[in-house]
Amino acid sequence: MEPDWIRSHGLPAAVLGDPLDHTLSPPIHNAAFRQADLPHRYHALRVSSDRFESVLRSLVDLRFLGLNFTVPHKEAVLPMIDRRRPEVETLGAANTLYWEEGEPVLANTDVYGFRKLVEQWTRRIRTGRVLVLGAGGAARACVVALHEMGAGRIYLWNRTDSRATRLRRDLGEPEVELLRDPIWPLSEGPGLVVNATSLGLSPDDPSPYPAEEIRSDLAGVDLNYGHRTTFLDEFEARGEAGRDGLTMLLHQAARAWELWTGREPDLDSMDEAARQFLDADS
């Protein structure tokens, strides 16, 4: 997409979901548009499943600058758009629509966002020292990202075994070893534990990982964000606490913004807008 075209058209962007309470996407994307002096604005559009296809078709017809999808549309959008990036095919879910050669294309930028969250532990990941807790949509994005990063082996635990088995099957049987308990499986060497469960959505939630099993050479990252989680507190006290899910959220948004505008957004202004929004919301 040419920058001149982008600069001269104030086309809007939007996230489509239902419900859409407390979404951080409008403040962070709008902060980046303002900082870059671009005329676009980003809107939150609450769209129910029965209206989703007709709304999507209209926004594509109107040539919206770009779209994001959240629950419950991330999977439903796939059969509606012909061009899809490889990670969308693997995951079976898309969170972004952008334009390439005049055609709408689906992408999943959660995979990129997660890679940025854990990039400092690439060595541990490559040597097969990573445990993912959870088997929902977020855990799927983690497994695909870890695989892209060259993970030798991925350990995975989920409360419901059948969902973990399904994840492995759906993702084409990558090197994933399913565990019975949410406990680091190796006796020595450093490791990384990822909380991709929704235990942590509320600040009072317990951690899915037993505190007494945290060794000093284990680091923990949490996909939850917006407040300190018990999971990260316990890793900070006994091992090493990495960043929370805000880093992943900002990078997945930055990647979508880049696909829409052809430019790199100013991450600091996105981060500041996110923190202001979270402070006002708490």
Task: State the catalytic residues.
Answer: 74
Stretch that binds ligand NDP, among 8-16, 146-154, 157-165, 266-274 (CB under 6 A): 157-165
By the rule CB under 6 A, 137 interacts with ligand NDP: yes
Peptide bond into 19 cis (omega under 30): yes
Please give the Cα distance from 14 to 73 (Å, whole number): 13
Tell whether the torsion through CA atoms of 33, 14, 57 and 108 is positive or negative.
Answer: positive
By the rule CB under 6 A, 193 interacts with ligand NDP: no
CA distances from 109 to 77, 88, 244, 257, 275 (A): 15, 9, 17, 10, 21
- Least separation in angstroms between CB 181 and ligand NDP: 12
By the rule CB under 6 A, 229 interacts with ligand NDP: no
Q: Kindly tell me which residue out of 135, 151, 256, 267 binds ligand NDP, with binding defined by CB under 6 A.
A: 135
- Do residues 194 and 132 lie in contact, with contact meaning Cβ atoms separated by under 8 Å? yes
- Do residues 43 and 10 lie in contact, with contact meaning Cβ atoms separated by under 8 Å? no
Q: Kindly tell me which residue out of 25, 30, 108, 158 binds ligand NDP, with binding defined by CB under 6 A.
A: 158
- Do residues 140 and 172 lie in contact, with contact meaning Cβ atoms separated by under 8 Å? no
Q: Kindly tell me which residue out of 165, 198, 228, 263 binds ligand NDP, with binding defined by CB under 6 A.
A: 198
By the rule CB under 6 A, 226 interacts with ligand NDP: no
By the rule CB under 6 A, 98 interacts with ligand NDP: no
**Chain residues in the site for ligand NDP (CB under 6 A):** 110, 113, 134-139, 158-160, 163, 196-201, 208, 223-225, 245, 248-249, 252
